[in-house]
Amino acid sequence: MRADRQEEELKFTRRALLLSGVGGLAFTVLGARLYALQVLETERYQLLSEDNQFNYQLVPPSRGRILDRFGTAVADNRDNYRVLLVPGRRGDVDPALDRLSEYMPISDARRRRIHRQRDSAQSYEEVVIANDLDWQTFSAINLNAPTLQGVRPDVGELRSYPYGEAFAHIVGYVQTPNREDVANEPDAERLLLHPGFRIGKTGVETSREQLLRGAAGALKTEVTAGGRIVRELPDQSVEPTQGQDIVLTLDADIQTYASARLGNESASAVVMDVNTGELIAMVSTPSFDPNLFVGGISTTDYAGYRDNDRRPLFHKSIQGTYPPGSTFKAVVAAAALEHDVIDPSETINCTGVTRLGDRDFHCWRREGHGRVDMHEAIKTSCDTYFYEIADRLGIDRIHEMADRFGIGQQFELGISGVARGLNPSPQWLRANRNEPWTTGRTYNTGIGQGFMLASPLQIAVMTARVASGRSVVPTLYRNAMAPPAPYVDVSEAALERVRFGLRGVVHERTGTSFSLGGLGIDGVEMAGKTGTAQVFSITTAEREAGVRDQEDLPWRLRNHGLFMCYAPADNPKYACVVVVEHGGGSSAATRPARDILRRTVARDPSSRPGVFASLNPQTGRDA
């Protein structure tokens, strides 16, 4: 009996040990699995529990660059470190911003802006919380991204204009699309509403928008219900197509120099290749910083530009129109020779005043020039001589010749705002003022005054056509395959006579610009013509009251100063025109124009080496 009890106890012990071992093993396996699930694979199952999904995230294309003629970028892209509010429930905005505020300041004004943008945005739109963050702030946000539900750090692109004011009027700027922009391109709505995406608003940026923009791509991502990206799947994505680069005819060095040379004058300068029409520089001063517009210009900064009486937002080179003044005498002289209304050796006596009916028409030199032939009249800019040949020509032939040389033509540059100017005629006057044309008006037109108006660009075209004899058309975009321009319908003999006079303006002692001393490059002569566009006429009574000359007038009433020139005089290559608003007369424009032309000629590979490097950027003279 006792033996049976001991045997039963032994069996129980063995069974207990076996069950304990099996139970311990099962507990160990279960514990290991729980450890794996709760510790090792916690993120995976947490993500699954948060209802992860796959999204296609739109990837905006990199905007094409804008380059000068030598490939220097005048509009480029740079990294933009930013943080975005991901699409989600509107009530989650403040908690998301509260978490983000631990790493960057968020003002009440910014919160209100974000709420307004979130409320007006489409359900799929991300909203920019902050742009252009410094690296330290961005890296801190990026490092703590797993805890920042509802926001997403991102690296985008921001347009950059390295030459700032020098190219502002030509290149323009980009800004965030507005609702009207989106409505005009419904097929591109997702791209236009993408945070940080910008489109051209002025200049080349808007005229070449479709080429610069490129095509959007799509990145497949796995995201949590909170909007956090878990992983990217590039092998299942579509790469964006980068926008095309646009190459301009402009030279960044000449453009920058011309802008600096004009400084804060209310002025413009145009430099052109006289044989091809390529624009080498086209400057308007004072200018504005296009970088300020990219992120949204402040009210204060914009008001400063808007209220400046020298109009920094106005592109004077193509939008400004002025009487060409005596620069137009080159065209009138060509017309007189072409129509044989005067022999170039015939002299006309200038006494300083010409009587027409009961009105006196004055020469700029009150004491007169005496007897002058065509050569003397051009180089001394004798008004009396040009009154006479304008009368012999008549307004119709002056109008027709002005048209041949580009006055009154609206050139298509590929940017908006190009002014047509005005090449007046009896038909125009009758249609617009219901007045008859008079001989006095022909006199005024003959010296580039009266109703005639031309932009600096048109005067540059006129200069280039006189210099080369070709009907060049201004171009802003490089085109190596462009055919040579046809010749102007004026005899070469007539143009040579005019060019000889224009050379005399600078290089003969009685020339109106002899004091310039020429171009300042050995072996290279220049030709030119001064011009003054009258803004306000000083009466005899005002002179007697003490207003004697331009310096006594308020700035806005002073005459505009113009100078057209080209070089080399014997084999023209480049033309330059400078207009200084209210400069008081042509002397305000002559030296800047000479300096800019000198810089341009010196940069030409065929010019004497070393000249360019020695120029002082402020004066244009040898350092």
pLDDT at 37: 57
DSSP 3-state of 281:
strand
Place of tokens 């002058």: 372
pLDDT in tens, 148-180: 887 888 787 889 999 999 999 999 999 989 889
Q: Helical H runs in 148-208?
A: 168-171, 179-184, 189-192, 203-207
Report the C-alpha gap between 443 and 329 in whole angstroms.
12
Q: Beta 174-175 vs 127-130: how paired, if at all?
A: unpaired
pLDDT at 388: 97
Mean pLDDT of 425-445: 96
Q: Are 173 and 205 in contact (CB under 8 A)?
A: yes
The H or E element containing residue 496 is: helix 492-507
Whether pLDDT at 278 is above 70: yes
pLDDT at 616: 42
> pLDDT tier at 206 (50, 70, 90 boundaries)?
very high
DSSP states along 406-469: TTT-----SSS-----B---HHHHHHHH-----HHHHHHHHTT-TT-BB-HHHHHHHHHHHHH-
Tell me the two tokens of residue 441: 């008006």
Report the C-alpha gap between 94 and 437 in whole angstroms.
73
Report the share of the chain in percent with pLDDT over 70. Answer: 81
Mean pLDDT of 431-460: 97
Closest by Cα among 62, 228, 204, 223 to 144: 228
Place of tokens 């080349």: 204
Q: What are phi and psi of 47, to 5 degrees?
A: -65, -40
pLDDT in tens, 65-120: 999 999 999 999 988 788 887 766 545 787 888 888 778 888 888 888 777 777 76
pLDDT in tens, 512-524: 999 999 999 999 9
Place of tokens 């013509």: 529
- How many Cβ atoms are within 10 Å of 95's Cβ, its own excluded? 11
CATH architecture designation of domain 55-247: Alpha-Beta Complex (3.90)
pLDDT in tens, 566-621: 999 999 999 999 999 999 889 999 999 999 999 999 998 664 444 434 444 343 33
Report the C-alpha gap between 590 and 248 in whole angstroms.
27
CATH class (in words) of the domain with range 252-291+310-614: alpha beta
> pLDDT tier at 483 (50, 70, 90 boundaries)?
confident
Top pLDDT among 291 and 22 is at 291
| DSSP-assigned letter for residue 538 | P
Whether pLDDT at 408 is above 60: yes
pLDDT at 529: 97
Report the C-alpha gap between 83 and 275 in whole angstroms.
52
Top pLDDT among 124 and 325 is at 325
pLDDT at 248: 97
Burial state string for 586-617 with b = 16 or more CB within 10 A and e = fewer than 16: bbbbbbbbbbbbbbbbbbbeebeeebbeebee
Whether pLDDT at 229 is above 80: no
3-class SS string, 71-102: CCEEEEEEEEEEEEECCCCHHHHHHHHHHHCC
Q: Which of 30-39, 43-52, 191-200, 302-311 has the highest mean pLDDT?
A: 302-311
State the distance between the two ends of the chain, measured CA to CA, in whole angstroms. Answer: 128
pLDDT at 96: 81
Report the C-alpha gap between 621 and 611 in whole angstroms.
10
Q: What are phi and psi of 71, to 5 degrees?
A: 90, 10
> pLDDT tier at 187 (50, 70, 90 boundaries)?
confident
Our CA dihedral for 533, 537, 542, 547, rounded to 10 degrees, sits at -10
pLDDT in tens, 502-556: 999 999 999 999 999 999 999 999 999 999 988 866 555 554 555 557 777 888 8
CA dihedral over 257, 580, 424, 442, signed as positive or negative: negative
Total number of residues shown for the chain: 623
| DSSP-assigned letter for residue 149 | T
> pLDDT tier at 26 (50, 70, 90 boundaries)?
low
Q: How far is CA 581 from CA 310, 514, 587, in A?
A: 9, 23, 12
Place of tokens 């009105």: 359
Our measurement of the distance from residue 391's CA atom to the centroid of its chain's CA atoms, rounded to an integer in Å, reads: 43
DSSP states along 334-354: HHHHHTTSS-TT--EEE-SEE
Report the C-alpha gap between 522 and 545 in whole angstroms.
49
Tell me the two tokens of residue 169: 């009027």
Whether pLDDT at 216 is above 90: no
Report the C-alpha gap between 232 and 239 in whole angstroms.
13
Tell me the two tokens of residue 390: 């304008």
In one letter, which amino acid is 563? Answer: F
In one letter, which amino acid is 223? Answer: V
Report the C-alpha gap between 265 and 283 in whole angstroms.
12
Burial class (CB in 10 A: 0-12, 13-18, 19+), 263: exposed
The H or E element containing residue 93 is: helix 93-100
Q: Are 464 and 575 in contact (CB under 8 A)?
A: yes
Q: Are 595 and 567 in contact (CB under 8 A)?
A: no
pLDDT at 618: 40
Q: Beta 560-567 vs 574-580: how paired, if at all?
A: antiparallel
For the chain, the structural domain boundaries read 55-247, 252-291+310-614
The pairs formed by 36-40 with CB atoms below 8 angstroms and a separation of 24 or more are none
Closest by Cα among 565, 557, 413 to 504: 565
Q: What are phi and psi of 85, to 5 degrees?
A: -95, 115
Q: Are 275 and 467 in contact (CB under 8 A)?
A: no
